Amino acid sequence: MVVFIKQNSPEIREKLQDAGYSICHCALFVDAIWLDYHPDSNLCKGIHGVGYTDEVEGLLDLTPEERIETWLSRDGHFDKEREFFDTVEEFLVKYPKQLK
């Protein structure tokens, strides 16, 4: 499962840290306009940025929004089980504190 927060800013990341989440450095990238979280993963417990890319993917000409739409439409890029939150407050209602 992958959970998306459709926003990203220093204030949002601070709220997540205050709730006990670790923030990956990729969440600070300029084009990381969304955040994601994998609540069931033992390997990926932190909050990560979504929307940025590198030259290898060939998506540099797309906006971050277009990249996210592309990845969501591809099989295998993200888990098929997905949950979306428009705000960090909505996310924190369902996931108030990171599981250890």
pLDDT in tens, 74-87: 988 898 999 999 99
* Residue 54 lies inside a defined structural domain of this protein: yes
Residue 82 domain flag: yes
Looking at the structure of the chain, the number of domains it has is 1
Domain that holds residue 54: 2-94
Sequence-ordered list of residues with C-beta below 8 angstroms from that of 84, at least 6 positions apart, any chain: 3, 4, 6
pLDDT < 50 stretches in the chain: none
pLDDT of residue 55: 66
Domain presence at residue 86: yes
Considering the domain boundaries, does residue 99 fall inside one? Answer: no
| 83 in a structural domain | yes
Residue 21 lies in a domain: yes
Tokens, residue 7: 């926003």
Longest dimension (CA), the chain: 39
